[in-house]
Structure formats: structure tokens, C-alpha cells
A = this chain, B = another copy of it.
Amino acid sequence: MAEKKTMLTSRLYGIRDLRLEQMPIPQPGPGEVLLKIATVGTCGSDVHYYLEGGIGDAIVTDPITMGHEFSAWIVDLGEGVEGLEPGQLCAVEPAIPCGKCEYCLHGHPNICPDVRFCGTPPIDGVFAEYAVMPAENCFPLPAGFSPGDGALLEPLGIAIHTVDLSHLKIGQTVAVLGAGPVGLLTAAVAKAAGAGAIYVTEPIAHRRQFALDYCADAVFNPETEDVVTAIMEATGGRGVDVAFEAAGAETTPDQAARVARPGGKVIVIGIPSDDRMLMTASVVRRKGLTIKLVRRMKHTYPRAIRLVQSGMVDVARLATHTFPLERIQEAFELVAGYKDGVLRAMIEIETDMD
């Protein structure tokens, strides 16, 4: 990479306004590594920025490079970096917590108030040829992992953290409301964790079919049936041990509460557009429910690698489409429109370092 000084990046200038630009290649400081980006997934939060220009009070005001689900090749090591070598393909954790606050010190970097997160304003992400990251964010991948697999360890990590929060016991039953990539991965992780039955609700037909093929025991369409009644019937009137809300729709948190059994759990992953979480008070109260909210993930990469390596979770199937960086806007339009059976559209930047 010797002489090259600039790199291609995709910059978001506003709603549906992505531009390709040359930017300076960053240099790694002490404890950091220079990465050649391999593959980057187009996450739902990226789509929020692309379509709406923000998520809640995180607004895109200045042009920004999005992208945070990624794998990369190590190119250069900053001062003092040990245990990594140029040429290694890594999955890269996109969050850089402060490491000093109460939450970091207590082992919860996912709720660090001072976290810097790739591709979240004002921090640039990795829809670009190169990036610099702390060495400890890089997890070298075993043989057999493709760059796409590596990129998908990020949403898989979310799913692992989500199932961790549920304290699911082997044989317990589960509902997943919403069969987008994170909902599907949550279902797959729940299956790998021994879920006794998995019920999935999803309005899009091909996603319902995917869920069935992937790991669901039954799927329901919220546009044509009362999914609460359907899941209650499927469970003999009892409800599920854990209901995962992965849709971010206006009604899904309350549905999740309604399909959970007394004493059950509701785990909310979805990000609603209207920034409201509304449930029926008497429903949640009479069942004495526990509701947990998913904030990113913590400490999941080593386990994510093991799950994929052992075949317990198949992430590759979620990568339904691939595009080069130059055609990233096409990828976003595809994902935003739920077209062509898309789940994750992957941006391939460097597929082979040799």
C-alpha cells in the first residue's frame, strides 16, 4: 500500500445522497492497526440514516462515511501492537468504548456514554478502502471464513447478546417478531441455544419462507392474521418463555408482551421510527413480565466465531446480494425497498489480499 495516499470512500451527504469521494488514508497511532476493508454489510441503522437522515437525536448534519458491519485485512501495525500480523483477515468490532467509565470498568462497554462507533455521526465508518482501528477490536478469523462471514459476525454478535439477555433455558419456547437479518439471527442463535420451539412473525413473504427454512417451527403473517392469537394457540394458550421484538413497528412491543407467558421475558431489539415503546399496562403487570432492551453487544466476537466455525449458525445465507463500493447506492435502494428477497446486501471492497 506504500505510495497510495488517498482512498475511495462513500459519503452520505443527505437523504438518499451518497457520493463517492477520495479521502486521505488514515495512519495508525500507538495500539492501532491500519485495515484494508474487506466486506461491509448494509445494516438497518445505515438504512435509517440513508432514508431519514438520522435515528432519533443522532442526526446527519455533515457528510459522513457510514458502515460498521465489517471484515478487514490487516495492513500495518501501529506502535506497540502485538498478537496481530499484516495479511490477517479479521472481523472487526465497530465500537470503541472509552475504557475508563463506570460501565466500561464494570464490563458493559455497550452502554459506555463516551463510546465512539464506526459510522455513527460524527465518527466515520468503513464504506471506504481503509480504516484505522484499535488492535483489540480486531479478531483474526480462522481458515474457512470468507470476508462476508466475518462482516456478518457483527449482527450475529447482536443476536448473541440478545439471547444472552434472555437467559433462555434449553427447551424453552421463543417468539421472534420480525424476520429481518437481526430477527433471523436471533432465531438462529436461540435455536443453537436449545430453544424448544421458535415462532416467527413477519409481513414479507420471502422472509417468512427464509425463517421457516432457516430455523423457525412456524411463521405467521401479521398482515393477514392475529399473530397474538396464533402464537397463543400454537403454545396451547400458555405463551412463550421469551418474546424477541425485532421489528421496530408501532405494535410489536405490545404484541411481544401479549405472547409472553406469565413471568416471561420480552427482549426488545427493534428500533421504532416514532421513538415510542408502548405496552398495555395491565398485560405486562398481571404477568409480572421482565422487559430488557438490547444496546449493541458486549464480548461476543470470540463466541460468534465459534458458533460459525462449528456450524451452529449459518451466517452466509443472509448475504443475499453483493455489490462493489462503486455501486453502494444500488445496494441501499435494494435494501430500503425490501426487493429481490434481499436480507443483507454486502459491499465487497477487497476480497483477496494476495
A-to-B contact residues, CB < 8 Å: 55-57, 99-100, 102-103, 105-111, 113, 136, 160, 163-164, 167, 169-172, 189, 192-194, 196-197, 238, 262-263, 268, 271-272, 274-282, 284-295, 299, 302-304, 306-307, 310, 312
Contacts and interface: CB of A to CB of B under 8 A. Distances in A.
A145 to B, nearest CB: 16
List 5 tightest A-B contacts by C-beta distance, closest first.
A107-B107, A171-B303, A288-B295, A111-B262, A56-B282
25 contacts: A55-B282, A56-B282, A102-B238, A103-B262, A105-B109, A106-B299, A111-B286, A160-B171, A163-B170, A164-B170, A170-B312, A171-B302, A171-B304, A172-B303, A193-B194, A196-B306, A197-B306, A268-B284, A268-B285, A277-B279, A277-B281, A285-B294, A286-B295, A290-B290, A291-B291
Nearest to A190: B170
Number of copies: 4
B290 A291 contact: yes
A193 B170 contact: yes
A189 B170 contact: yes
A108 B293 contact: no
Contacts of A103: 262-263
Contacts of A56: 281-282
B285 A113 contact: no
Given A171-B160, A282-B57, A303-B169, A194 B196 contact: no
Nearest to A305: B171
Nearest to A306: B196
Nearest to A285: B293
A110 to B, nearest CB: 6
Given A170-B303, A196-B306, 14 more contacts: A103-B263, A105-B107, A111-B262, A160-B170, A170-B312, A172-B303, A193-B193, A194-B307, A196-B307, A271-B281, A277-B280, A285-B293, A285-B295, A288-B293
